[in-house]
Amino acid sequence: MILLLKVIAWLVGHIPRFMLLPIGNTLGAIAYRCARRHRATAHENIEKSFKGKVTPEEVKIIATGTFINLALNLLEFMRLPWLNERSLKKYVEVIGLEHLEAAHAKGKGAIICTAHFGNWELLGATFGLIGYPLEVVVRNPDHPVMDSFVAWVRTTSSGNRSIHKSNAMRGLLRALKDNGTAAILIDQNVTRSEGVFIDFFGRKACTNKGPARLAVASGTVVLPTFIIRDGLTHRLVISEPLKLVDTGNRDSDTLENTALMTQRVEEIISEYPEQWFWVHRRWKTRPDSPM
């Protein structure tokens, strides 16, 4: 099975780049029509997040754009094993690299705070190819064959390494101590025991508290970083470090720092709403739900 997946990846990886856009647009439009449950989730999320600010037609346009972006992401993901630094420069512009270099000059590594936005898999590959391989937190395997294939795609050309969620804090602290780079996506729903409730588009969203606690524990800077799609080209923007608080009060510091990170995610989504993962049930965990 994994051999078949690699063959498919090789075929997609060698399609001329100019063909990806019409293919992705078509696949995304089909997925929008056929994936009823995910389409409904996207519509609901968009309507509630931009309540009174978007028309029904605009909701549809944003949701359709989301599916098209995901289709393009899939095609580009299949091409990652054959990506190299030379080909990368043709369609990914890196902005703000000096912030990453300054962080590593201090010897404590860097925490990349990002989201399921744009082509986040390409973001990871880009860091590896420009000389800053990432330690990426992943879930424990659900489907061994598929998970092996995804790991192969993610690590073949980039040198990135995966850390399973169950051992994430220890592995990330060790990597940062060695002046490594850790990447954490903070925009997905987590359980009450894993997160804190932060305002996100006007609603309380249970948000991963790990990045905030990791930053304080390691003394490492947090760099909000997002990759923005423009057709088949991308801008990877590394922002200056967040001004985190460290008062010694673990709970209040975690809440405030997580809110700072979440605010940056909301800002980039508001600017490019069609590039976020609206099909995810981001507000599933509620403050009154069981632990």
List the chain domain ranges.
Answer: 85-275
Share of the chain above pLDDT 70, in %: 98
Q: Which residue has the higher pLDDT, 140 or 240?
A: 240
* Spatial CA neighbour of 43 closest among 285, 281, 286, 287: 281
The reported pLDDT for the residue numbered 289 is: 63
CB of 274 closer than 8 Å to CB of 66: yes
Mean predicted lDDT score pLDDT of the chain: 94
- Residue 166 confidence (pLDDT) above 80: no
- Residue 165 confidence (pLDDT) above 80: no
CB of 176 closer than 8 Å to CB of 111: yes
- Residue 291 confidence (pLDDT) above 70: no
- Which pLDDT tens digit goes with each residue over 7-47? 999 999 999 999 999 999 999 999 999 999 999 999 999 99
The reported pLDDT for the residue numbered 141 is: 59
> Can you tell me the distance from the alpha carbon of 264 to that of 279, in angstroms, rounded to the nearest whole number?
20
Mean pLDDT of 89-117: 97
3-state helix, strand, coil split of the chain in percent (to 5) is 55, 20, 30
Confidence at 86, pLDDT banded by 50, 70, 90: very high
Pairing of strands 195-200, 203-208: antiparallel
Mean pLDDT of 108-115: 96
Mean pLDDT of 260-280: 98
- Which pLDDT tens digit goes with each residue over 202-212? 999 999 999 99
- Residue 121 confidence (pLDDT) above 60: yes
The reported pLDDT for the residue numbered 140 is: 60
Mean pLDDT of 179-190: 95
Mean pLDDT of 241-257: 96
- Residue 2 confidence (pLDDT) above 90: no
Mean pLDDT of 115-120: 98
Mean pLDDT of 96-100: 98
Least confident of 51-55, 145-149, 190-194: 145-149
Confidence at 103, pLDDT banded by 50, 70, 90: very high
Q: Please report which helix (H) or strand (E) contains residue 164, including its range.
A: strand 161-164
Angle at the Cα of 138 from the Cα atoms of 97 and 91, rounded to 5 degrees: 35
Amino acid at 272: Y
Confidence at 252, pLDDT banded by 50, 70, 90: very high
> Can you tell me the distance from the alpha carbon of 206 to that of 192, in angstroms, rounded to the nearest whole number?
7
- Residue 163 confidence (pLDDT) above 90: no
Pairing of strands 161-164, 134-138: parallel
